Amino acid sequence: MCDILDEKEKILRTKSQEVKFPISAEDKKRVHDMIEFLTNSQIDELAKKYDLRPGMGLAAVQLGIPKRYFVIVHEYEEGKFDNYVIFNPKLVSNSEEIIYVGDGEGCLSINRETCGIVPRYARVTVEGYDEDGNKIRIRAREELSVAFQHELDHLDGILFTDKIDAKDPFKNKDLYREI
């Protein structure tokens, strides 16, 4: 389905390139595969059947394709998903409030235990393009906001572990709101 690169792969540290429209049939198929993978990974019986780690988002660079696009599959209700596909995304606004995921962030490219606070904006607005080249604008809050910021970081060669203070992993915990 999707061969996800491990954090040791140097390409994950590169800045991905803008996508030119119209997008290729190969990229369209890749987007479909990414949606299918992420959806299946969040459905317990399919995740067990196919031995998938649960994931909410995937950037093209995690598949070895250094292009500026990602997919997020958000389970907003048991068994109900919203799919977000965005090409050439840009963060255009954010809240002042900072949050962090209490259980810690995870990443399909990081296959080791990690702990610590990853400060993220509670709300973001992201602009980019859909598969057909139409401009889109997405407002995200809380968990979805974290996912958008996580995937945007991938496009710039940043992993969530880079945002954890190595000397004090829970630094400033009291200044942020846990989600």
Active site residues: 151
Residues 6+ apart with CB under 8 A from 99: 119, 120, 121, 122, 142, 145, 146, 176, 177, 178, 179
Strand bridging mode 69-77 / 80-94: antiparallel
Spatial CA neighbour of 57 closest among 139, 2, 10, 117: 2
Tokens of 145: 């906001």
